[in-house]
Structure 1
Amino acid sequence: MTDHRYLIVGGGMVADSAARGIRELDPDGSIGVISEDVDRPYARPALSKKLWTDPDFSWDDKVDLHTEETGATFVLGTRVVSIDRQAKTVTTDDGAVVGYERLLLATGGHPRDLPGLAPSDRVLSYRSAADYRTLRRHADANAHVVVVGGSYIGTEVAAGLVQNGARVTLVTPDDVLGGHMFPAGLAAAFQQRFVDAGVQVRTGRRVESGEETADGVTLTLDDGSTITADAAVAGLGIEPATQLAEDAGLAVDDGITVSSTLVTDDPAVFAAGDVASYPDRLLGTRRVEHVDNAQQQGRQAGRNLAGAGETYDHTPMFYSNVFDLGYEAVGVVSSSLRTVEDWAEPNVTGVVYHLDDDDLVAGVLLWNVSGKTDEARKVLAEAHALTPDALPGLITAD
């Protein structure tokens, strides 16, 4: 049996940040990382962003996080199937038993599959570097790719593909692409950018079933129409991978429940990243599936594994880049909320404030406005003192 002072289950960006957080306080304690992925930790956002748009964005220099610098020991392509909290061990799918003093669950989530289709070289859930490599081969062959889902991954992948020679059809349940997040005028402008780039956008539609053949993939939509393509990509979000924790008797509620110090109800077991449901100091209990949270929460979890006992006080931001536009946001960004729009140039550059039922700011969307996320966090922190008519001009676009 192998033993580690610190054992991390999951090999994403949380694992890298946690290992580095551990090393800030403990330069020598052994770190083990067990991951289902076949690659060491890498910068996941690059899979749908820079790797498609920047030919100089190399894997070794820009994407591989070089977590080996921490001295961690990696076991890749391996799944942890159980935790024995009393013995402080985990068991893997190949029967190995690994001991720990402190355990971090960074299991992330499992992507939602397309109905009736199993993942293959033609059917991608787009969660890993292996998925990127497969999709890149399709793009290089000028394939027709249907992308299902109009949120972050779906829109970024569709934009990356069409800019690299692929023919792209994008299917979204929104009546207008981005309509679940953005005000109507902004959503219309967002969709038009895709249309102008040559993406065929099928709005107001969901996939009901799919069939893979030797030559391609056929999707049947909820209006009975079909789309046949060389490959299909599912950008349908994830389900948090909580089963391991639940089987071990840990509290689970839309994620593994943790305290402000990221510890579960077992003082030796922590959780962080996509899988952790934690108390945000500004926004209450939430689970966040974005890179800023993975990096900052991962680092804090690592420090706390090493005994820091510090609260996680960071309210994370999220961002997206498609074509020549980019947006950043903090908090809840949803078209179901009332909005106050403050445009320097309508639907091109500006700030959108999303208000809850009490007319308090719950989220701030920065459209082609960079470097203002700290100001957005300040607005959220001071929300009770801000009336809607005080919001225009509060964050400037310059």
Structure 2
Amino acid sequence: MTTTHFDYLIVGGGMVADTASRGIREIDADGSIGILSDDVDEPYTRPALSKKLWTDDEFTWEKVPLGTADDTGADIRLQTRATAIRPDAHEVDADGETFSYGTLLVATGGKPVPLPVDDRTDGERVLSFRTAEDYRRLRSLAKDLDRIVVVGGGYIGSELAAALVQNDVDTVLVHTGAVLGDSMFPPALADRFEKLFRDAGVEIVAGSKVEGGQAGADGVRLQLENGDEVRADAVVSGLGIEVATDLAEQAGLTVDDGIVVDAQLRASADDVFAAGDVASYPDRILGRRRVEHVDNANEQGKAAGRNLAGAAEAYTHTPYYYSAVFGVRYEAVGTLDSSLDTVEDWTDADHGVVYYLDDDRVVGVLLWNVEDARDAARAVLAEAETLTRDDLVGRIR
């Protein structure tokens, strides 16, 4: 078995790999960087796959790749799946090769939650949605088929339903809530959110979990828990991800809802770091958490790369997350949970701030069509101990 050495080795080929490579280069202009990716594409901007590529004619495919190899000199090994990490030996096995490293970054992200469907089409009509290849397949189906079901009412599911219906696809959205968005938004806002989809022509099947189904050459039949059936030409899962911690667990790293890292993003073995969707890190404002959004991938990846190269800096950024559908953009910092008490502050029907309180302490801020206010939202969370409910209205404009 051949062994290849890299000063810096990254397992995972997503956006974290790109920003980590750039972070390394801020400290070390010459050290060798290796990226082991099981994707078929070099790192790319993932949010575009469910947003701009569907809705912005000027945002074309050539804007999706991030140019990681050209910009940083990283050696990217595509379709290369890591099978073992040996921290004591500073080695990683992948597809019959061994890679040794000076420092290692684990950025394995996650895998889409699969649908419980008997698929006899070899993936032609039953799709998960995570990668650029998944986007290309769904885009092709959207051109060729009439009716597509999206399963899942969270970020990915709602964005995909919006994308498909805006591309003249007869779209069905199946989700488990009573109203779309009701797990995150206060009741009146969830009603308004769902109305955006209904007004655009999306058929919403609420309060329903897919418990089985079959897919064949003639289409897809989904069985719901309540006994109903939904038929379409294809189905795509927008049910989120299962965090990919298997390699880390087998390597003996500490795992608890993600790979547990310290403030410098170091895992529990020497010279091993973790970042992105897979990392459980101590947020300086919000406490330990794991964040599956692009802002965290970008900022945490860069911080991890700098620390791989010896910067020894704490990751102090509190990430935000966002979605954009039907001309509405909402951003959030902290916890959005509709079971919490809320204080709403609306400038008008289309612009407002919602504060989420746990025991009268702000733990989350939702910005609804409010621009350039993320730092203000972070400040509210940082000062939460000193703020009363009366302090909140009018605080962010």
TM-score normalised to the size of structure 1? 0.97
CA distance in 1 between partners of 2:328 and 2:9 (Å) = 40
Instruction: Work out the number of aligned pairs and report it.
Output: 392
Q: Calculate percent identity across the aligned residue pairs.
A: 59
The corresponding residue for 2:7 is: 5
Deviation at 1:212, TM superposition (A): 1.0
Q: What letter matches 1:79 in structure 2?
A: R
Judge which range, 155-164 or 222-231, deviates more. 222-231
The corresponding residue for 1:199 is: 202
Pair 1:389 & 2:384 matched: no
CA distance in 2 between partners of 1:51 and 1:120 (Å) = 22
Judge which range, 358-367 or 213-222, deviates more. 213-222
CA distance in 2 between partners of 1:199 and 1:394 (Å) = 36
CA distance in 2 between partners of 1:366 and 1:180 (Å) = 16
Answer whether contact 2:10 2:106 (CA < 8 A) is retained. yes
Query: SS state of the match for residue 89, structure 2?
Result: coil
Deviation at 1:5, TM superposition (A): 0.2
- Return closer, same or farther for 1:321/1:116 CA change in 2, 3 Å cut-off: same
2:38 to 22, 36, 39: 36
Pair 1:53 & 2:58 matched: no
Answer whether contact 1:142 1:165 (CA < 8 A) is retained. no
CA deviation string 1:60-94 (max 9, x = no partner): 2x2110001100001111110101112211111x2
The corresponding residue for 2:100 is: 99
Deviation at 1:116, TM superposition (A): 3.2
CA distance in 2 between partners of 1:340 and 1:242 (Å) = 37
Deviation at 1:117, TM superposition (A): 4.3
CA deviation string 1:131-174 (max 9, x = no partner): 10011111122521100000100000000000001110001111
Answer whether contact 1:142 1:167 (CA < 8 A) is retained. no
CA distance in 1 between partners of 2:348 and 2:236 (Å) = 34
Query: SS state of the match for residue 136, structure 1?
Result: helix
The corresponding residue for 2:76 is: 74
For residues 1-398 of structure 1, the aligned pairs below 5 Å read: 1-60=3-62, 62-68=63-69, 69-92=71-94, 94-117=95-118, 120-346=123-349, 348-356=350-358, 358-396=359-397
Which residues of structure 1 form unaligned runs of 5+?
none
Q: What letter matches 1:341 in structure 2?
A: E
CA deviation string 1:276-312 (max 9, x = no partner): 0000001111000000000000000000000000000
CA distance in 1 between partners of 2:370 and 2:124 (Å) = 38
CA distance in 2 between partners of 1:387 and 1:176 (Å) = 30
Q: What letter matches 1:381 in structure 2?
A: A
Query: SS state of the match for residue 28, structure 1?
Result: coil
CA RMSD of aligned residues (A): 0.9
CA distance in 1 between partners of 2:213 and 2:64 (Å) = 33
TM-score normalised to the size of structure 2? 0.97
Answer whether contact 2:87 2:270 (CA < 8 A) is retained. no
Query: SS state of the match for residue 345, structure 2?
Result: strand
CA distance in 2 between partners of 1:8 and 1:242 (Å) = 15
Deviation at 1:267, TM superposition (A): 2.3
CA distance in 2 between partners of 1:336 and 1:67 (Å) = 42
CA distance in 2 between partners of 1:173 and 1:44 (Å) = 25
Q: What letter matches 1:11 in structure 2?
A: G
Query: SS state of the match for residue 18, structure 1?
Result: helix
Deviation at 1:99, TM superposition (A): 0.8
CA deviation string 1:160-210 (max 9, x = no partner): 000001110001111000000000000001101100000000111110112
Stretches of 4+ aligned residues off by more than 2 angstroms: 116-119
